Structure 1
């Protein structure tokens, strides 16, 4: 396809995202659907894939979280977290991304972040910490965790590519895990100083003055933790722990008959089943009405995120599917010219395809063909956190919608969003530290 035409299509995608950001909320998804229509009518391009699994996971998790919120579970979790961080409230900026990273490493998917997101927000806001800091760090840490997880799809791809070179999964993780933890600590230090303090942020002050959000601590002063609240939180946490354990231990993944043979239930489906079951148990055991779940703020913001993700990811996938050969091929040629560009290519392909696995399969073989040491390739692999370069991921959209203070945002220029700095810091520090560790082998 003509380069000018690809550029025109790319500008259209960015422009429609910008328009959606301007109108806020689910508008980003609505204008994304407009983009799909334009691709079909003007460019005769077939609609791309819809991120159905991501949408269903968001729906299941926010249903469970909404039920927990109604029962008072959020108040209980906030109370527990506050006990830990009350003396050092800024520590949430460090604790939240490290916790998210650990959970996602265990489960093999960044989708675990959805379960932690409401608690991170409530704790940071109750302690008057700018929510953007721990939320942006944590959402991105969930993606960085993919390269540290022994059970993620991307790791499976990497292990398969490295095995013929005699480089085992333990060798890969020995580089990616310490490099990633260091990257999170450095990014948390930087992000703890990012932006105005919450009580000085103009968008937050405007929302506070308009009565759109209660002052920090207002709920904590008027609400008491009930037995039902504690019970709902424990049920919710039990669901999260089960998902994490199922990601780590294969024996916990249910085996079912499919096409005449026994296979494991897909982890994304297991998350959905578990979270709906959690919502059902909370409804039955914690004295809430199922019909009221849709009225909870968490469910409301989650459904907005589903619509937003539907449209904008559909548009992005349509553009990518039509031009993937040209774009990825060009990046591969660039990497051949300068081996260090493997990291750049991994970052860029992950951003374009929004898939760590796709970037791994596309670029790592080029590095192998160039004769780069396996340890060097493992060191550059965390660059696939570039999946968050553009704000088209479900976790990003859901986070923006959840943060009612307005500190976590997508800027008018699209690329200037709250997750950009964590993405860049994680990439630079993790790759840099990884190369240092590789040199010591």
Structure 2
């Protein structure tokens, strides 16, 4: 092990740590600083910047933000809420699976925010501990992006594996991650459904009901036809500004959800684009071919995704008529731009480091991960936990695993589950929101970093998905 390798590795780790502390675009800025140090101080040739991944993110995020501005997210939330309410007794399974489907289709976990009051409301009315469906719904969004054709994490992964000698394209990745994630969610739901005390046996909840802080579930069910909004403490509505007695209003939470025909058309157009991308990945013959030298090659998936998304974006302009001036203000757009900047800097840094020491990595790190394959999953998990970014964890660790000689199918399967590490610490907005929406107090953020309600569900989901994904990847790919 050379001195330069150790010093450069410290630079990479230091920039990741400092970027994590800065958060957001700070991750990308520190990554750029690290690249500067490797190039100007250590004299390493700069690696290839992740232009393809950033191009995919920019195209997808712009189109998704157009859909959101047209009201497409509202329609998706409305549909998801109706599905969740249709099977109230199975909400611990139905809610996360429904949220998973829409996270996959939209390429973002932000869609679960407006679903949380619905999940809480349905669970509480049916005497189900709200922390059960809420925690599983939140942690599934950590791995859902590994099964989404239009997520930033998938964009990062695709540009790493859909090249020689790995040749693992979008449909192969989805064939590994989709079943692994679904099995992980089902197993986690079964486990979580047996965790903690039943709602009717929880002394803290029963004390709140006895004191009048919460209405009993029976009281909510008995008045379900009355006007109002979702359960809340001291809430009011426009028609009746007086606070609701007992801190709860009777109508189902989904009653307040609305959508427009333009929003529905925009969402369907976006989903159509997602389906088109999957089909084009599954059947390369559908893509145009070009002669390069003496070889005929089909259009690559990076350009395919970008072009399809731009076409869908123009279609949304016609069917949804969004105000394009509002696009930069959309939450999807803001989150996507932050992801693109963070990904660009950190990916450029790791690409420069790996290119400079590829031989050493293959000979040493390769031997470690070959002997103890779980180390790769642990590394992805830890970076995801520290950065709370699936795309950053992807571009930081996956290239090392591939360069070390791990089979791309196994890498992909373990990668999907390890992304769940983003919920290791109770610092994410979705975790905080879930705890706030749960008026019973059963969903807790904890006080000792790892004692929060999401930790065990996250571990079960991650480990299950890692194991199942690795098996699928090893057997079929």
Q: Go from structure 1 to structure 2 and tell me whether the alpha carbon gap of 1:2 and 1:276 turns closer, same or farther (over 3 Å shift).
A: same
Between 1:424-433 and 1:8-17, the stretch displaced more is 424-433
Q: Go from structure 1 to structure 2 and tell me whether the alpha carbon gap of 1:116 and 1:353 turns closer, same or farther (over 3 Å shift).
A: closer
Give 1:244-283 correspondences, 5 Å limit: 244-256=278-290, 258=292, 262-283=296-317
User: C-alpha distance in 1, partners of 2:189/2:102?
Assistant: 13
Q: Go from structure 1 to structure 2 and tell me whether the alpha carbon gap of 1:386 and 1:85 turns closer, same or farther (over 3 Å shift).
A: closer
1:72 aligns with 2:71: yes
Q: Corresponding residue for 1:289?
A: 323
Please, what is the CA RMSD of the aligned residues? 5.1
Q: Corresponding residue for 2:51?
A: 52
Mapped contact 2:100–2:144 kept (Cα < 8 A): yes
Between 1:317-326 and 1:343-352, the stretch displaced more is 343-352
Q: Go from structure 1 to structure 2 and tell me whether the alpha carbon gap of 1:405 and 1:389 turns closer, same or farther (over 3 Å shift).
A: closer
Mapped contact 1:96–1:120 kept (Cα < 8 A): yes
Q: Corresponding residue for 1:38?
A: 37
User: C-alpha distance in 1, partners of 2:185/2:5?
Assistant: 35
- Taking structure 1 as the reference length, the TM-score comes to 0.64
Mapped contact 1:16–1:32 kept (Cα < 8 A): yes
Write the deviation string for residues 274-316 of structure 1: whole angstroms up to 9, x where unpaired.
1111111111232223333222221122111111111111112
Q: Corresponding residue for 2:115?
A: 123
Cα deviation for residue 19 of structure 1 reads 1.9
Cα deviation for residue 46 of structure 1 reads 1.9
Mapped contact 1:356–1:387 kept (Cα < 8 A): no
Give 1:184-263 correspondences, 5 Å limit: 184-187=185-188, 224-256=258-290, 258=292, 262-263=296-297
SS of 1:363's equivalent?
A: coil
Q: Go from structure 1 to structure 2 and tell me whether the alpha carbon gap of 1:405 and 1:53 turns closer, same or farther (over 3 Å shift).
A: farther
1:81 aligns with 2:80: yes
Q: Go from structure 1 to structure 2 and tell me whether the alpha carbon gap of 1:293 and 1:364 turns closer, same or farther (over 3 Å shift).
A: closer
1:93 aligns with 2:100: no
Q: Go from structure 1 to structure 2 and tell me whether the alpha carbon gap of 1:177 and 1:311 turns closer, same or farther (over 3 Å shift).
A: closer
SS of 1:47's equivalent?
A: coil
Give 1:163-202 correspondences, 5 Å limit: 182-187=183-188
User: C-alpha distance in 1, partners of 2:75/2:431?
Assistant: 19
Cα deviation for residue 185 of structure 1 reads 3.5
SS of 1:263's equivalent?
A: strand
User: C-alpha distance in 2, partners of 1:257/1:306?
Assistant: 32
Mapped contact 2:413–2:468 kept (Cα < 8 A): no
Greater Cα radius of gyration, structure 1 or 2 = 2
Write the deviation string for residues 70-103 of structure 1: whole angstroms up to 9, x where unpaired.
1111101111111111325443334445787xxx
Aligned length: 367
User: C-alpha distance in 2, partners of 1:278/1:174?
Assistant: 24
Q: Go from structure 1 to structure 2 and tell me whether the alpha carbon gap of 1:219 and 1:237 turns closer, same or farther (over 3 Å shift).
A: farther
Q: Corresponding residue for 1:363?
A: 405
Q: Go from structure 1 to structure 2 and tell me whether the alpha carbon gap of 1:16 and 1:385 turns closer, same or farther (over 3 Å shift).
A: same
User: C-alpha distance in 1, partners of 2:472/2:299?
Assistant: 36
Mapped contact 1:380–1:431 kept (Cα < 8 A): yes
User: Structure 1: where are the runs of 5+ without partners?
Assistant: 101-111, 147-151, 161-169, 195-216, 366-376, 392-399, 408-412
User: C-alpha distance in 2, partners of 1:271/1:20?
Assistant: 29
Write the deviation string for residues 99-152 of structure 1: whole angstroms up to 9, x where unpaired.
87xxxxxxxxxxx77635444554357535356412112124559x99xxxxx9
Q: Corresponding residue for 2:142?
A: 136
User: C-alpha distance in 2, partners of 1:390/1:133?
Assistant: 9
Q: Go from structure 1 to structure 2 and tell me whether the alpha carbon gap of 1:346 and 1:322 turns closer, same or farther (over 3 Å shift).
A: farther
Mapped contact 1:256–1:262 kept (Cα < 8 A): yes
User: C-alpha distance in 2, partners of 1:284/1:141?
Assistant: 29
SS of 2:82's equivalent?
A: helix
Write the deviation string for residues 376-427 of structure 1: whole angstroms up to 9, x where unpaired.
x988984465885998xxxxxxxx79999599xxxxx9xxx99984554433
SS of 1:127's equivalent?
A: helix
Q: Go from structure 1 to structure 2 and tell me whether the alpha carbon gap of 1:134 and 1:74 turns closer, same or farther (over 3 Å shift).
A: same
Give the helix-richer structure, 1 or 2. Answer: 1
Q: Go from structure 1 to structure 2 and tell me whether the alpha carbon gap of 1:9 and 1:328 turns closer, same or farther (over 3 Å shift).
A: same
Mapped contact 1:293–1:299 kept (Cα < 8 A): yes
